């Protein structure tokens, strides 16, 4: 590598060997086990984190069903439940309850809504 701009394209990318240090879960949804182990490989995650009541949740149990919930933080979290450093998907975003204007804006979906 010289003093000029980086070489473009796959060849330049391969020579520079960038090391990823951030992770974004596909569609902001990942398993509890993945969320718990990802900090071993990536220092930072960028997402709206989904938290679970168990590492291997049973959403269809007859009693004591597990559940998941998406938690939205409009600010940086230094260390969450899974040990992740979380950058928010949209810093400063605030979600308002507009259900009186749009009743469909806050439907609650469960594992039964497949």
- Pairwise CA distance, residues 91 & 47, whole Å: 11
Q: What is the pLDDT of residues 7-50, one digit of tens each?
A: 777 777 777 777 788 888 887 688 899 989 989 988 899 888 88
Structure confidence at residue 21 (pLDDT): 81
The tally of CA atoms less than 13 A away on the side-chain side of residue 28 is 16
Q: Backbone phi, then psi, for 13, in 5-degree steps?
A: -60, -45
- Read off the pTM: 0.62
- Pairwise CA distance, residues 84 & 68, whole Å: 17
CA-wise closest residue to 82 among 48, 49, 46, 47: 49
Structure confidence at residue 91 (pLDDT): 66
């Amino acid at each position: 590598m010289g003093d000029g701009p980086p070489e473009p394209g796959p060849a330049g990318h391969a020579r520079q060997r960038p090391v990823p240090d951030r992770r974004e879960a596909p569609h902001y949804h990942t398993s509890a086990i993945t969320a718990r182990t990802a900090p071993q490989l990536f220092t930072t995650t960028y997402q709206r984190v989904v938290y679970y009541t168990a590492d291997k949740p049973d959403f269809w149990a007859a009693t004591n069903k597990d559940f998941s919930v998406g938690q939205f933080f409009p600010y940086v979290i230094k260390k969450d439940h899974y040990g992740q450093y979380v950058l928010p998907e949209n810093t400063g975003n605030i979600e308002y309850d507009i259900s009186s204007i749009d009743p469909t804006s806050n439907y609650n979906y469960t594992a039964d809504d497949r």
